[in-house]
Amino acid sequence: MGEDKPFGCKLYPLSYNPKNKSFYFDADCPLMDPYIAGLQDAHSDSSLHLHSAQQVILQLEKKDPAFLKNNHAVDKMYFDLKKIHSTANSNNKKTSKKA
């Protein structure tokens, strides 16, 4: 499928909770540790993936907020989600428990 995937597939292994405007990671994904570590580098694949997701989410929050709500609800049913703590001005990113 290449880049021609639905947004929910492009977002994986992340999930976005529009209620608290937070990102979560599928803890069962073997890429969790390197992904989280990669967020320390603004030019890493992890940071670029997260930034790309944030850009699409900004648009969806205006145009299709129901999609974001439903997508996260499905993700919560299927994945063991761990919250990714991040702030725009912080390089210290970590995880904690459940959505």
Which amino acid would we find at residue 96? S
Question: How far is Cα 30 from Cα 53, in angstroms, rounded to an integer?
Answer: 20
pLDDT of 17 above 80: yes
* pLDDT tens-digit series, residues 28-87: 999 999 999 999 999 999 999 999 999 999 999 999 999 999 999 999 999 999 999 753
Domains in the chain: boundaries: 7-96
pLDDT of 11 above 50: yes
Question: How far is Cα 39 from Cα 2, in angstroms, rounded to an integer?
Answer: 24
Question: How far is Cα 7 from Cα 53, in angstroms, rounded to an integer?
Answer: 9
What pTM does this model have? 0.81
pLDDT of 2 above 90: no
